[in-house]
């Protein structure tokens, strides 16, 4: 038997911090924007979207992966620790791997961008979301 370990490094948030503040109706609306109506019938009657399989295997591995759907710049990613904690992240890379639009990004720019995405599904004030975002250095095991 072997065990794998991986680093979870970047700027972002552990999804556990925002789950208590998610708005079911906002999430349902976003799901309906992404999928054809026949694929979203089960979501209409769901009191809590987290009782559904949408964020635990099909079509998303976790809620952080769902948030990545709204990353129009394609600079954000997600990771998990193998124990159920998911992270929504901007990950560092070498300067020669930056996309041209990333070259001048600051932490404040990334914070604002991630805050705007999280606001799409969350009822927290912008300032509270912004304050939850931070540098993450964790690890996963599986």
Q: Is residue 2 part of a domain?
A: no
- Rounded to whole angstroms, the Cα distance separating 19 from 15 reads 6
pLDDT of 36 reads 63
Q: Is residue 41 part of a domain?
A: yes
pLDDT, average across residues 69-77:
93
Q: Is residue 39 part of a domain?
A: yes
Query: Could you tell me whether strands 86-90 and 77-80 are parallel, antiparallel, or unpaired per DSSP bridges?
Result: antiparallel
Q: Is residue 58 part of a domain?
A: yes
* pTM of this structure: 0.86
Cis peptide before 59 (omega within 30 of 0): yes
Q: Which domain holds residue 117?
A: 9-136
Domain total of the chain: 1
Q: Is residue 38 part of a domain?
A: yes
Burial of 115 (0-12, 13-18, 19+ CB in 10 A): buried
Rg from Cα positions in the chain: 16
Q: Is residue 24 part of a domain?
A: yes
Residues 80-120 have pLDDT tens digits of 988 889 999 999 888 888 888 788 889 999 999 999 999 99
Asked if residue 80 lies in contact with residue 89, where contact means CB atoms within 8 angstroms, the answer is: no
- Average model confidence (pLDDT) for the chain? 86
Sheet strand arrangement including 5-14: 77-80, 86-90, 5-14, 134-141
Q: Is residue 115 part of a domain?
A: yes
């Amino acid at each position: 038997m072997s065990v794998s370990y991986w680093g979870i490094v970047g700027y972002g948030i552990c999804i556990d911090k925002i789950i208590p503040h998610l708005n079911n109706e906002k999430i349902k609306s976003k799901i309906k924007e992404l999928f054809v109506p026949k694929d979203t019938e089960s979501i209409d009657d769901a009191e809590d979207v987290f009782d559904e399989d949408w964020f635990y295997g099909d079509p998303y591995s976790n809620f952080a992966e769902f948030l990545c759907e709204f990353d129009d710049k394609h600079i954000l990613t997600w990771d998990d620790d193998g124990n159920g904690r998911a992270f929504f992240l901007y990950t560092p890379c070498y300067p020669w791997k930056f996309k041209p639009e990333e070259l001048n990004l600051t932490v404040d720019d990334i914070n604002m961008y991630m805050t705007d995405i999280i606001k799409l599904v969350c009822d927290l004030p912008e300032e509270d979301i912004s304050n939850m975002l931070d540098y993450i250095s964790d690890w996963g095991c599986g």
